[in-house]
Structure 1
């Protein structure tokens, strides 16, 4: 589980893979000087509801990952998240598109190239 922190005061936990995709979209937009909102749902175990933050160049953000490797990014998912970020509703968490993820494809290719001997 990774953690997104906004302005040292608001934070939320996301799966590492999900957070890596959100970070790529957020950083790309901020580098271009764009301003937008980012909204996520709060888990029912924490009381439910949702949080929205306004992202802009200069805001303090932190992305902390639990895992030690950087996941391969899924271009289709990045496009979906970017489209959401560019909409009037702003960036919000979307499920990864169905199908094999790049990480799964890489693991499958690795297994084909280095089969386990019985």
Structure 2
């Protein structure tokens, strides 16, 4: 399970390593373009029930930490599907990777409206 630290939020955001690697590509691309957006996720089983949303902006520090020391192989099709979703009015929804069917933590990212 990977984690994302964002700004002064004390608790890390938990996202499965492979999903986080793909999400990192989309986040970096949008922030490089100076596009701010929200990131929403459902809490994991070991957190209080519910969901959270944060505002992502290039000026706020961010760090991604992965459990595995090696970078997972990225699925280009998954990245393209996530990127297309990120540019839609509904925002990005972290959908399963068709290559593995893997997705353990649901996460959604919405562009600013």
Give the TM-score taking structure 1 as reference length: 0.74
Residues 1-118 of structure 1 mapped to structure 2, 5 A cutoff: 1-9=1-9, 10-97=11-98, 99=99
Higher helix share: 1
Q: Secondary structure at the match of 2:12?
A: strand
Give the TM-score taking structure 2 as reference length: 0.77
| Contact 2:14–2:44 (CA under 8 A) maintained in structure 1 | no
What stretches of structure 2 of length at least 5 have no aligned partner?
102-113
Q: Tell me the alpha carbon deviations over residues 96-116 of structure 1, each in whole angstroms, 9 at most, x when there is no partner.
A: 12x358xxxxxxxxxxxxxxx
Q: Tell me the alpha carbon deviations over residues 66-94 of structure 1, each in whole angstroms, 9 at most, x when there is no partner.
A: 11100111111112221222233333322
Change in 2 beyond 3 A, CA 1:75/1:23: same
What stretches of structure 1 of length at least 5 have no aligned partner?
102-118
Q: Secondary structure at the match of 2:73?
A: coil
Structure 2: distance between partners of 1:82 and 1:46:
28
Structure 2: distance between partners of 1:94 and 1:48:
21
Larger gyration radius, structure 1 or structure 2 = 1
Structure 2: distance between partners of 1:93 and 1:100:
14
Structure 1: distance between partners of 2:41 and 2:74:
20
Which consecutive segments of 4 or more residues in structure 1 shift more than 6 A?
Answer: none
- Where relative contact order (Cα < 8 A, 6+ residues apart) is larger, the structure is 2
- Tell me the matched-pair count: 100
